[in-house]
Amino acid sequence: MARRAPPLSLSVPLGPVVAGQLIPCTVHLALSRGVQARALRVEVVGRLRWVIGAWGQGPVRWHRWAEERVVHTQQVLPLERSLGPGTASFRLEVPLPPDAPPSARGRMVDMAYLLRATLDISHAPDRWETVPLRVVASTPVPEPGPLTPSPEGVRVHMEAPRRVRPGQHLEGVLVLTASHPLVLSDLRLELVRWERVPLGRMAFPTCRLGLPALSLPAYEERRVPFTLWVPADAPPTCALPHGCAIEWTLRLEAGRYPPLAQGPIVVEAS
């Protein structure tokens, strides 16, 4: 038996929506019988979820989550008329606040949006349809600061873009200089995602690149090329309500030493 089409469907533009803009959407109705419609409502709902506790040990852990609706905006089209059987389409534009936080999905924090259309019917259950919505920030994240070297007598400079998009390669060159002869073994470069919630901050290493051992004469530069892959599903660098945030760091480590250098990297929304 063929599946019947839903009486209400919602069409929105493909791709992300920029905060502060109007969202054009079209609501399509396919009614098998006449109804007395009071209004058609289209709303945007943004919900933030974040971890507020955890229990368990090892790889098996359970989390307690808090959830709050942080964005809610709507557009209502009054109808107050009878709609006969057949199809009809209505076009509306829903405003999105300019300070709406961007969509982001991590392991400790999740900011998600839904676009929902509801047909308010007299003396009958409402009919509705919901589609996911991806929002990007209206203002770019500020330029990241420089790499912070550790007090090991090693100066590190990175010749590479400090902004990258998910699904792309981060290519560059590390320039290392030591104040005294030094051999660095087990050299590795990591791209680390930090997720901050009121409970604290946790690191999630995302991509690691092993580099060959390096001998550094005193005050002589060594150039080390590198290529890191940024996962296609990497959430963007962003600040979220309630002190939550997602940040990215590029970290250079060697053997038992503390990080030789680390600094912020901006992952932009794709």
Do 64 and 169 lie in a common domain? no
pLDDT score for 255:
77
How far out from the chain centre does Cα 241 lie? 14
Q: CA-CA distance, 68 to 168, in Å (whole number)?
A: 33
Domain boundary among 106, 136, 166: 136
- 182, part of any domain: yes
- φ and ψ at 175, to 5 degrees? -110, 115
Q: What is the pTM of this model?
A: 0.84
141 in any annotated domain: no
Query: Alpha-carbon distance 190 to 267, whole Å?
Result: 14
The predicted pLDDT at position 266 comes to 93
Report pLDDT for 58. 56
The answer as to whether 97 is a domain residue is yes
pLDDT of residue 214: 87
Q: Of the candidates 116, 136, 156, which is a domain's last residue?
A: 136
The pLDDT of residue 59: 55
Identify whether the C-beta of residue 144 lies closer than 8 Å to the C-beta of residue 158. Answer: no
Task: Give me the pLDDT at residue 1, please.
Answer: 37
CB atoms within 10 A of CB 53: 10
Q: Which has the closest alpha carbon to 19: 150, 144, 133?
A: 133
DSSP secondary structure, 11-36, as one string: E--SS-EETTSEEEEEEEEEESS-EE
Cα–Cα distance list, 90 to 83, 218, 261 (Å):
12, 72, 56
- The low-confidence residues of the chain, meaning pLDDT below 70, are 1-6, 55-62, 149-152
CATH code of residue 196? 2.60.40.640
Q: Nearest-CA neighbor of 259 among 146, 145, 149?
A: 149
Q: Do the beta carbons of residue 114 and residue 44 sit within 8 Å? A: yes
CA distance 148 to 127: 56
Q: What is the number of structural domains in the chain?
A: 2
Enclosing domain of residue 55: 8-136
Please state the separation of Cα 243 from the chain's center in Å.
16
Cα–chain center distance at 150:
30
Is 143 inside any structural domain? no
**Residues paired with 162 in a beta bridge:** none
Q: Do residues 53 and 96 both lie within one domain?
A: yes
